[in-house]
Chain A
Amino acid sequence: MTIPADTKQKAAGRFQVLRLVARNKLALAAVMFLMLVVLCAIFGPWLMGNLIDKPNFRARNMAPFSLAQGWAYVLGADTLGRSLLARLIVGAQNTLGIALFAVFFSMVIGGFLGLIAGYSRGLLSSVILRVADIVMSFPSLLLALIVLFSLGPSVTNLIIVLAVTRIPIYLRTTRAEVLEVRERMFVSAAMALGAGHMRIVFRHIAPIVLPTLVTIGAIDFATVVLAESSLSFLGLGIQAPEFTWGAMVATGRGYLSNAWWIAFWPGLAILLTTLSLNILSNWWRTYADPQQRWRIELARSKKGIPEKRT
């Protein structure tokens, strides 16, 4: 057997995180909702893909909470009689997928530039920082609008724009960490052993910075979902026939007075998704903070705050 001795312990630790999440009702609800959304995103198009562009003229502007046209129309239908439930489920894929790619690319590129800016202290690093400052100080939505309008709205461009506006966050964090890590003993040791710059940066420094980046990426995900929705809502994001929840709200905007549900449901889906993400990242922040962790680890007693464990 070559299983390391600490595997069991690690598995227990992971299990403990789950148990602690389960103890907090809000966090548990958030996890369950997110799992549902992810399942929709993965299997939605396969399950309901044939329903999203099938007009059903008997169901035009059909009000929600009625099963007259079958369960697919329980959330109502839009002006063409397309099932809103099906569109919500299928739309999850684009909504989450675009945000996922944007977060991934901004993390990789921002991390890479941050490694350079932190490790080399030359002209290049100050140019990178200045550009990041410019991108960061200007309202991201405006920048995205201008870029999207010039390059033409498409899914690829949407991902590029969203990634670019988030890069400075990863860049600055990585740089700050690299500045600290590069002074540590093992870097000097690697240098003394004759390791090249590339090897030091990618084999010794990068693995230490990575967990921080992933955490920030998870927290940033909600922001990117909101940004994509805003762009799609303003009409410069995703273009028909493709759609995301943000674009669905935009479609429903014109029918507020006679069919409120067209704009309401997709917006609610966005709200619940970003809210769940934020609840979880808040929970995680408390969990990861050694000074606050006891709040989670101790069961809540009936009399308010339990005694602090030392």
Chain B
Amino acid sequence: MAVFGFILRRSAQSLIAVIGLLVLVFFLSRLTGDPAYLYLPLDSSEAQRQAFSEAHGFNDPLYVQFGRYLLGVANLDFGTALSRNRPAMEVALEAFPQTLKLAAIAMSLALTLAIVVGSLAAAKPDSLFDRIASTASLAGASAPDFWVAIVAILVFSVGLGLLPTSGTGTPLHWIMPIFVLTLRPFGLLVQVVRGTMISALASPYVKTARAKGVQRSQIIFRHALRNSLLPVITVAGDLAASLVNGAVVVESIFGWPGIGKLMIDAIIRRDFALIQATVLITAIAIFVLNILIDLLYARLDPRIRFQAK
């Protein structure tokens, strides 16, 4: 079974990457300073700080702490989130679905819109629609997301009073975060779709189809689009990781209780266990996604085989 071998091999590679990342994050986060100064009141005595560090094991040499952490991970114990006094993994797993929902909606929206707009633009290069679509997509890809978020708040919350500025309660709360998060992947994907569609539409099989008298819409959406989807999916997969970047910014502006906001809070509050848990979850999610994309790729293009290399 080539597919299982492939999944196994990729998982092993990803595991190494995840471990590398965890080592990096573990030692980097210890460089940030002593949590005792952050978690105890300012006027606490040196003895109290010592006791605090002792209780949480921050006084041991780093390699001892790391060994203890690895042992914990092997037993599915990811430590306690100091800032919340709860198991770190529990907190991270609570926040993760919030980001996942946001990212999934934004990505499917961006893909669908980009495929439609990009194909229509490529169907008539240099037409008015193409020029508007190209410029708009370039603007979408170039816009700093934090600024778009702020301008959106300015217009729709402060100015018009239509949408809430932050929180999650109603469907209205979803509109601005999703819009901001969709913008950049949409802009980048339109360009990819347009580029590959233009070259696909110039290919011999499209000429044949046209000579046979196949309808124009059918040529675009059935013949050319199917062949242009592969590069689009590759780029969409690469964008997934950068979607997390966007999520960090969007979540911190709109007060969205997702993994990005959690991570920033954890970094700022020197909550080591929570930083590690959030990084671990994000990394695993991205690696799983990459494997899924590779599988999808092979499914769409039968020429691609899972070579044992």
A contacts, CB < 8 Å to B? 26, 130-131, 133-134, 137-142, 145-147, 149-151, 222, 226, 229-230, 233-234, 246, 249, 252-253, 256-257, 260, 263-264, 267-268, 270-271, 274-275, 277-279, 282, 291-292, 295, 300, 304-305
| A residues in contact with B20, CB < 8 Å | 130-131, 134
With contact pairs A149-B267, A234-B252, A305-B126 given, residues A138 and B286 touching in the complex (Cβ less than 8 Å): yes
Write the nearest CB–CB distance from A153 to chain B, whole angstroms: 11
**A-B pairs, 5 with minimum CB distance:** A267-B147, A141-B245, A274-B142, A139-B244, A150-B31
23 contacts between A and B (CB under 8 A): A134-B17, A134-B20, A137-B286, A138-B282, A139-B241, A139-B244, A139-B248, A140-B241, A146-B275, A149-B32, A226-B144, A230-B144, A233-B249, A234-B264, A246-B144, A249-B146, A249-B147, A256-B153, A256-B158, A267-B150, A270-B144, A278-B141, A278-B142
A234 touches B248 (CB 8 A): yes
Most chain A CB atoms below 10 A, which of B151, B158, B286: B151
A140 touches B242 (CB 8 A): yes
| A residues in contact with B150, CB < 8 Å | 249, 252-253, 256, 263-264, 267
* B16 close to chain A: CB less than 8 A: yes
| B residues in contact with A142, CB < 8 Å | 244-245, 248, 260, 263, 279, 282
State A28–B303 Cα separation when bound (angstroms). Answer: 44
* B21 close to chain A: CB less than 8 A: yes
| A residues in contact with B134, CB < 8 Å | 282
Q: Is the interface of A mostly helix, strand, loop or mixed?
A: helix
Among B21, B143, B199, contact of A138 (Cβ-Cβ < 8 Å):
B21
Most chain A CB atoms below 10 A, which of B29, B147, B268: B147
B287 touches A137 (CB 8 A): yes
Query: How many of B's residues come within 8 Å of A, CB to CB?
Result: 52
Among B141, B145, B151, B241, contact of A137 (Cβ-Cβ < 8 Å):
B241
* B135 close to chain A: CB less than 8 A: yes
B282 touches A275 (CB 8 A): no
| B residues in contact with A271, CB < 8 Å | 139, 142-144, 147
B138 touches A275 (CB 8 A): yes
B21 touches A134 (CB 8 A): yes
B contacts, CB < 8 Å to A? 16-17, 20-21, 25, 28-29, 31-32, 125-127, 134-135, 138-139, 141-147, 150-151, 153-154, 158, 191, 198-199, 202, 241-242, 244-245, 248-249, 252-253, 260, 263-264, 267-268, 275, 279, 282-283, 286-287, 290
State A270–B279 Cα separation when bound (angstroms). Answer: 29
State A274–B249 Cα separation when bound (angstroms). Answer: 18
B135 touches A26 (CB 8 A): yes
| A residues in contact with B28, CB < 8 Å | 146-147, 150
State A229–B245 Cα separation when bound (angstroms). Answer: 13
| B residues in contact with A226, CB < 8 Å | 142, 144
| A residues in contact with B241, CB < 8 Å | 137-140
